Structure 1
Amino acid sequence: MDCVIRPVRADEWDKAKELRLAALQDPLAGIAFLETYGKAASEPDSFWKGRTDRVTGDGSEARQFVAEAPGGRWVGSVTVIVERAGAEGAFDGAPEVDQTHVVGVFVRPEARGTGVAQELFRAALEWSWALTDPRIERARLYVHERNGRAEALYAKAGFLRSGKTVAMPGNPSETEYEMVAERPRELGAGGDRGL
């Protein structure tokens, strides 16, 4: 699918909201996201504006990337959050190294299998490796034990299970696997990061 992959702009909160609500209606949303459609749909516009502001701003702590199809429709998104070494993380405590945490991965059904997800991950990882303060050593994400489709997608993007697991928030009888992509050892000339 011919899409432009780009960062979200602050004034696009309404499009970010629409795509997030679509994601939360996906059949696997209950194991893929920590938020429900009902809760998200009830949030006021100020919530969505603030949420979008947090992933645009100066771009040093978080960034959301979208896949924009011809005609302007957003068909996918991924968000990347910086987690600094020693600081308490949003999901499982203080990381040992400076890292990014990939969240909110979603591609509309009609765009799946077209390479859109891989391009979103490429943008997320390139942004991660380009950061200098902090210098990111790895990117990570979590996948539910029953979400094999997502795990295969993440593996194709270069993420491997780290061996670390956590209980599913809200359902401690289920498991989430941490998957990581390590910073490339050598970054090539001209911006080629070996991805």
Structure 2
Amino acid sequence: MDIESVRVHQLGPDDWHRFRRIRLLALAEAPYAFGSTLAWARARTDQDWRELLAARTQFLATAGDHDLGTVGAVAESDVAHLISMWVAPEARGTGVADLLVRSVIDWAAATGYLGIQLEVSDGNIAAERLYHRHGFRRTGVAGAISSDDARLEFEMRLTLPARPQTVWRAVDDGPCTLGS
């Protein structure tokens, strides 16, 4: 696979069937990497999938008609929370994961978030290296994946640069950029 042929698209509620398909693949192939389960995802209705995509930003990496990976983000106050990261086994090590993480970083910066946080399960060294490459660092916060799953996960965070603000000066009514 040529990384130049990979495209990353933002999904909307009408793309629920594509997201459902790749999410089920992810949960079946790497159940250890998620706090959700395949059974729980299979029980969702079509409307549940639409609502899920309406409540988050979700990206899908493709090459032609082949879906290669996905990552999502949800708002949590002034930070975005990176979630649901997965890359198909045949696309691992090709740069697809980097494209997906970069999509979330670019989206969060353009949207005005101050940072991005995520959790990575203990022992998922490849994922931690990926996030570290993009500037994420452990925060020191750790805990169980969920009340039903005692496995340990670590929080990582990336602080985004402040966006310059444009204000209007009263003297000549021209724009002035602050913070640059």
TM-score normalised by the chain length of structure 2:
0.82
1:9 aligned to which of 7, 12, 21: 12
Aligned pair count reads: 161
2:129 aligned to which of 152, 157, 169: 152
- Structure 2 regions of 5+ residues with no counterpart? 165-180
Matches within 5 A, 1:23-42: 23-26=26-29, 28-30=30-32, 32-42=33-43
| Alignment partner, residue 136 of structure 1 | 113
Structure-2 separation of matches of 1:51 and 1:150:
24
- TM-superposed CA distance for 1:184, in Å, is 2.8
- TM-superposed CA distance for 1:186, in Å, is 7.5
Q: Is 1:122–2:102 an aligned residue pair?
A: yes
Matches within 5 A, 1:99-110: 99-110=79-90
- TM-superposed CA distance for 1:159, in Å, is 1.1
Structure-2 separation of matches of 1:42 and 1:168:
21
- The secondary structure found in structure 2 opposite 1:24 is helix
| Alignment partner, residue 50 of structure 2 | 49
- TM-superposed CA distance for 1:149, in Å, is 1.9
Structure-2 separation of matches of 1:167 and 1:80:
21
TM-score normalised by the chain length of structure 1:
0.76
1:67 aligned to which of 57, 61, 67: 61
Q: Which amino acid aligns with 2:101?
A: F
Higher strand share: 2
Check conservation: 2:143, 2:152, Cα contact below 8 A.
Answer: yes
User: If you compute each CA radius of gyration, which structure gives the higher value, 1 or 2?
Assistant: 2
- Structure 1 regions of 5+ residues with no counterpart? 56-62, 85-97, 188-195
Q: Which moved more, 1:171-180 or 1:117-126?
A: 171-180
| Alignment partner, residue 88 of structure 1 | none
- The secondary structure found in structure 2 opposite 1:51 is helix
- TM-superposed CA distance for 1:73, in Å, is 2.1
| Alignment partner, residue 81 of structure 1 | 74
Structure-1 separation of matches of 2:87 and 2:37:
17
Aligned in 2, Cα 1:41/1:173: closer, same or farther, shift over 3 Å? closer
